[in-house]
Amino acid sequence: MTGFAHELERKEVTKTEIPVFHVGDSLDVHVRIKEGEKERIQIFSGVCIARKGGGLRETFTVRRIVEGEGVERIFPLHSPNVAQIGVKRAGKVRRAKLYYLRDRVGKATRIMEKLNATHLGKMDDKRTADEQPAPKAEEKPAEAEAAEKPAEAAEAAAPEATEAKTES
């Protein structure tokens, strides 16, 4: 990818707010569906079984069971048709792809819940950290001056205290 395309992609990625979620988490994906002139939002609930790609091309796969049949949908992470992604619970898994769930039935498809999950309810800030502007040069001296003033005051008080000790 060229430098221009990479820069453009990085700017586009930071426009959308995506919550932090991992493979194994139970998700509610709010999908915009346009039928003629009307637009509505449909919620697809299930377990995230895979994440692929990166940048604007990143996708995730959500699986759920509907009337005894497994249904999987692949969503582009930055699609305008994905209105919102809600993380219901964190799953404790040790694989990056949970395709083995396709062969399991009933209770065997359950994923243990991660009770100490710290990412629930957080937004993905690592993408926006690259876009944060560096502190301006003007702000740094002001902070440095503020830090130096107490040090100068302490130095000014210290010689007076030593002079008082030597006089007595």
The model's pLDDT over 52-70, given as tens digits with 9 standing for 90+, comes to 998 889 999 999 999 999 9
Residue 108 has pLDDT above 90, yes or no: yes
3-class secondary-structure state, position 22: coil
As a whole number, mean pLDDT of residues 78-82 equals 92
| Cα 125 from Cα 14, distance rounded (Å) | 9
pLDDT one-digit tens code per residue, 7-31: 888 888 887 788 999 999 999 999 9
Distance of CA 91 to the CA centre of its chain: 16
pTM: 0.69
